[in-house]
Amino acid sequence: MPKKHLLFNPYRPGDENETYWFDARLVRFLFRTLYFWERYFRYEVIGLENIPKKGGVLLAMNHGFFFVDIPLLGKKIFSRRGRRLHTVAEHLSWKLPILRELMLNIGVVDGTPKNALRILKSGHAMIVCPGGAKEAVRSFRKKYTLMWEDHYGFVKVAIAAQVPIIPCISIGIDDVYVMLINGYHRWRETFVPLPVFFGLGLFPLPVKLRHYIGRPVTHTYKPSQHKDMRCVMDLHRRVLEEAERIKKEGLQKRRLGGFL
């Protein structure tokens, strides 16, 4: 492990596939800085008791542009359930200096099935955003639309690792910024996010953020069935149904309560 530069271990190619990186001092510092965002967004979590205190579990969450909700949830899970939350990041993220050092030192890994499987088989809790960057930069006309169709990788990993999937929906995250147009574009045979958005200038709008944690979606499939598309599509359908259920509940409660 290389020598630290200030708070960070410097990134080297290949580090994104290692799971031993974790800087407790940096994490404690980040948790303290989250206090501001907790108050700014009046953050709450509903259904935290659905997350088991031990054993591998995969949380599937909607992807917002301002992904502060992921560390906010991670802090709640750590303080209330005693679990460290692992996550994976887009391949493109590891090409961005500073961001990659930050991710590396809080235990984020590259979003590959191999890395996810290793984390879950080790008995850890991990969160993924099946919709990816495309969901994060969709226009305001499609906000809270889950773009999980045909995204089966997280389901295959859950079957291979023999863990349940818990849908986790963030209500408010799509209102933090107003995304004017679809920000996902093709460039040189690949898609890149190029968002056009506004808030309070570049600062996020002070909307209320509330996470809804759904019921665990379990399965009885064998690890060898993670490539059987009938099994994969069945579990995917059940996960999406639970995700849509808690999303509908959250949006309805927001309309009735009038919180923004």
What are 122-169's pLDDT values in tens digits?
Answer: 999 999 999 988 888 888 899 999 999 989 999 999 999 999 999 999
| pLDDT tens digits for range 31-59 | 888 999 999 999 999 999 999 999 999 99
CA angle 58, 62, 63 (to 5 degrees): 110
pLDDT value of position 198: 87
pLDDT at 7 over 80: no
- Give the chain's domains with CATH numbers: 18-257 (3.40.1130)
Q: Are 51 and 59 spatial neighbours (Cβ–Cβ below 8 Å)?
A: yes
Which of the pair, 29 or 233, is modelled with greater confidence? Answer: 233
> For residue 190, how many C-alpha atoms fall within 13 Å in the half-sphere facing its CB?
5
pLDDT at 193 over 80: no
pTM metric for this prediction: 0.89
55 vs 214: CA distance, rounded Å: 17
Region 95-116: mean pLDDT is 86
Helix, strand, or coil here: 210?
strand
Give the position of tokens 């909307």. Answer: 207
Distances (CA, A) of 232 to 66, 191, 237: 30, 26, 9
